[in-house]
Amino acid sequence: MIDNQLIDDTFCCPGSAFQVSCLKNMHGEYNLKYLHMNAQSLGQKQSDLEVLFSEFNFSFDVVGFSETWFSSDDPPITFGDYSFEGQNRISRGGGVALYVRNGILYHRMNEFCITCDDYELLVIKSCKTLFAVIYRTSRGTLSNLFSQLEILMTFANENEFRLILQGDLNIDILTTTSDSLNLLNLIRSNGYFIASQQPTRYSLNHNTNTVRSKIRSKGMDNPGNSNND
């Protein structure tokens, strides 16, 4: 993808449920690096994730997780130089989280942090950028999900914010169905695009992309950094 300021490099690791995106400025220098992973019990994977992160020669600025499976009584797992924000499901399963690298100034957008029967949504704001992560259960009502996404995108557009939305909507956009077409129409009609069309869930018989990818607006500002960053 090329827009008026930045190039977005997104790659999916085959056989893995995570994607990495890096935003470049006009000189080809990386400004922002973010990752999303469907964790399926984040609390049991801390050591594995620390090994994974050590394999990259840079530090991620924002890391998003879906299906954290935290309950309200569970303390969040910690990663050395990151602040934690989470949105848990009331019952077992689900849940989303964002880890933000220390030095990046942000605040939680509580009006958009939602737990309901259909999805969990977490949104933070850094400078003129909104970072969001969402998880929809396969039984979640799509009309409710689409309505909330419309509200979030409209808010971002009206305030001239950039929006990066990561997560797992349990919609296969590589297969033409009414659900996938409605989602794509919603995204495009609001001026957004899916940063990666690569499969992010693999099985023996079919490669599916359940939208564990980033939905982004045109352009991207740098997140707000503290003076000692």
What tokens does 53 get? 């992160």
Q: How far apart are CA 24 and CA 19, in angstroms?
A: 17
Residue 197, pLDDT score: 59
CATH class of the domain defined by 7-216: alpha beta
The 8-class DSSP code of residue 110 comes to: G
Residue 73, pLDDT score: 64
Q: Is the pLDDT of residue 121 over 60?
A: yes
Is the backbone of residue 20 left (phi > 0), alpha (psi -120 to 50) or beta? beta
Residue 178, pLDDT score: 96
Q: How far apart are CA 19 and CA 33, in angstroms?
A: 11
Q: Is the pLDDT of residue 56 over 90?
A: no
Residue 76, pLDDT score: 76
Q: Is the pLDDT of residue 62 over 90?
A: yes
Amino acid found at 199: P
What tokens does 15 get? 């056989």
Instruction: Give the list of residues 6+ apart from residue 164 with CB closer than 8 angstroms, or none.
Output: 34, 62, 129, 130, 131, 132, 214, 215, 216, 220
- Nearest by Cα to 194 from 162, 160, 161, 166: 166
Q: What is the pTM of this model?
A: 0.80
**pLDDT by residue (tens digit) across 128-138?**
889 999 999 99
Q: How would residue 93 be classed by pLDDT, with cut points 50, 70 and 90?
A: confident
Range of weakest confidence among 23-37, 119-133, 205-219: 205-219
Residue 10, pLDDT score: 38
